[in-house]
């Protein structure tokens, strides 16, 4: 025992030496410096996260997402460049912002009382609700009490955890897991696989994911309406906060924000669970039979094959023998007149039908005014495909009369249904048209395209080849217009003589 007592100081001394030696060999990285004011550097540093409702790379390898688009517009208004910092985990975003590693956070953040203690927020740009989501193969939870004992997960550091902590005051036995390594989208996928009982997520996220995971259902809202906004450090430069508020006020006033929200969310709630499930089944069972024809149509028209396939499904559910009471036929549901102009000898031949439909979309995209940008250009062309170019022009004229934007698909969605109303029929050149059906057509195609873009790979031919489609007119060699969707619309040589007022099928 005496020996142990005498060795103890010696052990401490040796450990101290070893520790010092170890420390002397370590390379310490100083904490990162706070970002300098944007006015000084000309660079806006924005922290965000990778998700379909914020910032992501789309199927054509273009950066997209509502937060991405808003930030790019804001930076353009400021006259500075943007540097996005993508957080590895959601719970890294606010601490990084608090340490001033970014000028702002644009990451689908809700304004909560707890967050307002440490951060400032811009004017809100979107309203959401927190929802409890379940797998519809299980009984629907009737309320918070029904969640006791269930496997519940939420994103760590999220406002969902804050809301559940409030609920726990009433239901002390309520428990859940905070997941630091997954986003809401990943947790919802796990829920759809039956490995969880419930997940809490924002309603906009749930709306998007339901189109890919039809087994998901909304049990109930966990919160009242909440607001998404940009977050700033508590000691933010007032210049930047005021500029952001001016920016959001302006884009709300001029309709830019409405159009951006419609681009990402305007179509996501159109389809029901049965519609999505039917499309998924057909994608696995029917689509492979025609995939090579859609690929070939992309080669000859440069339209994304998944867009062509989405149109084909909306038209006929990929049934090459489909026939309507009005006489339109085939997988792309062409009229006899349109088929003749496009050189189609057999409308029931899926190869001819698919290529003709794609070429007609190109013609319509080339016909709408050059000033219309993507993606509105594509959606407006699809409206003409369904209702006819003349009726489309009637809807655009009505939009102008109502002081709306005739080049915006968001605004045309409000005037197309007016073509069926008696008080407007006399005002338009081409008379009555079922414009509401056209809106449904386009919005469904948008959703089907989104689903295909998520699950189907882009097509890139390995070798260039010349067309051997002797039954079809040659594609034009004129320069094309590359869209933000990657849907390239070359000027078409196919210009039917009576496009105005003609049903585009």
Q: Is 302 left (phi over 0), alpha (psi -120 to 50) or beta?
A: left
In 3D space, the residue among 332, 330, 366, 328 whose CA is nearest the CA of residue 492 turns out to be 366
**Number of other CB atoms surrounding residue 189 within 10 Å:** 18
In 3D space, the residue among 499, 442, 449, 478 whose CA is nearest the CA of residue 301 turns out to be 478
For 124, the token pair is 């809100």
**Number of other CB atoms surrounding residue 475 within 10 Å:** 21
Return d(Cα 262, Cα 446) in angstroms, integer. 11
Within 8 A by CB and 6+ apart from 212, the residues are: 276, 451, 454, 455
Return d(Cα 196, Cα 201) in angstroms, integer. 14
| CA 350 to mean position of chain CA atoms | 30
Helix, strand, coil in percent for the chain, rounding step 5: 45, 15, 40
Mark whether 456 is an active-site residue. no
As a three-state string, the secondary structure of 303-336 is CCHHHHHHHHHHHHCCCCCCECCCCCECCCCECH
Return d(Cα 58, Cα 60) in angstroms, integer. 5
Dihedral Cα 463, 467, 469, 474, nearest 10 deg: 140
Which residue out of 67, 315, 393, 443 is catalytically annotated?
A: 315
**Number of other CB atoms surrounding residue 461 within 10 Å:** 10
Beta bridge partners of 199: 133, 153
- C-beta of residue 228 within 8 angstroms of C-beta of residue 124: yes
Tell me the CA end-to-end span of the chain in Å, nearest whole number: 98
Q: What is the largest CA-CA distance in the chain?
A: 111
Pairing verdict, β 119-121 and 152-155: unpaired
Return d(Cα 100, Cα 285) in angstroms, integer. 52
Dihedral Cα 185, 186, 189, 195, nearest 10 deg: -140
Collapsing DSSP to helix, strand or coil, 328 comes out as coil
Order across the sheet with 152-155: list the strands.
177-179, 152-155, 198-202, 130-135, 216-221
> Which residues form the catalytic set?
315
């Amino acid at each position: 025992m005496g020996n142990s007592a005498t060795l103890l100081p010696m052990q401490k001394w040796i450990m101290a030496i070893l520790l010092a030696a170890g420390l002397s060999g370590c390379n310490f990285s100083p904490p990162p410096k706070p970002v300098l004011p944007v006015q000084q550097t000309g660079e806006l540093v924005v922290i965000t996260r990778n998700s379909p409702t914020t910032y992501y790379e789309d199927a054509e390898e273009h950066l997209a997402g509502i937060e991405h688009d808003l930030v790019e517009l804001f930076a353009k208004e400021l006259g500075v460049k943007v540097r996005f910092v993508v957080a590895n985990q959601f719970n890294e975003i606010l601490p990084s912002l608090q340490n001033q590693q970014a000028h702002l956070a644009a990451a689908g953040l809700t304004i909560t009382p707890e967050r307002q203690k440490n951060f400032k927020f811009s004017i809100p740009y979107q309203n959401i609700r927190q929802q409890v989501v379940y797998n519809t193969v299980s009984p629907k939870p009737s309320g918070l009490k029904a969640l006791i004992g269930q496997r519940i997960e939420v994103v760590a550091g999220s406002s969902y955890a804050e809301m559940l902590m409030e609920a726990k005051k009433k239901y002390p036995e309520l428990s859940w897991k905070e997941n630091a390594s997954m986003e809401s989208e990943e947790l919802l996928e796990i829920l759809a696989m039956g490995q969880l009982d419930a997940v809490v997520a924002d309603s906009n996220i749930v709306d998007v994911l339901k189109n890919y995971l039809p087994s998901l259902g909304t049990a109930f809202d966990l919160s009242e309406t909440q607001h998404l906004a940009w977050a700033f450090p508590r000691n933010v430069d007032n210049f930047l906060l005021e500029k952001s508020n001016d920016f959001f006020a302006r884009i709300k006033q001029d309709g830019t924000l409405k159009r951006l929200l419609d681009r990402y969310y305007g179509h996501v709630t159109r389809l029901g669970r049965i519609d999505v499930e039917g499309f998924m089944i057909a994608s696995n069972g029917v689509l492979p039979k025609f995939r090579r024809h859609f690929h070939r149509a992309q080669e000859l028209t440069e339209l994304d094959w998944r867009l062509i396939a989405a149109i084909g499904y909306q038209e006929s559910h990929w049934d090459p023998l489909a026939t309507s009471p009005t006489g339109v036929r085939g997988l792309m549901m062409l009229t006899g007149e349109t088929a003749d102009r496009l050189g189609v000898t057999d409308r029931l031949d899926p190869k001819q039908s698919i290529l003709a439909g794609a070429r007609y979309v190109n013609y319509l995209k080339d016909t709408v005014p050059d000033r219309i940008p993507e993606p509105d250009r594509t959606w407006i062309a699809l409206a003409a495909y369904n209702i006819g170019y003349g009726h489309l022009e009637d809807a655009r004229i009505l939009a102008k009369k109502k002081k709306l934007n005739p080049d915006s698909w968001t605004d045309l969605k409000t005037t197309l249904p007016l073509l069926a109303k008696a008080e407007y029929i006399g005002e338009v050149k081409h008379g009555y048209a079922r414009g509401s059906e056209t809106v449904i057509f386009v919005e469904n195609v948008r959703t089907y395209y989104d689903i295909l873009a998520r699950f189907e790979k882009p097509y890139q031919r390995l070798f260039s080849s010349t067309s051997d489609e002797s039954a079809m007119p040659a594609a034009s060699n004129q320069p094309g217009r590359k869209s933000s969707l990657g849907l390239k619309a070359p000027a078409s040589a196919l210009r039917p003589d009576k496009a105005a007022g003609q049903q585009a099928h």
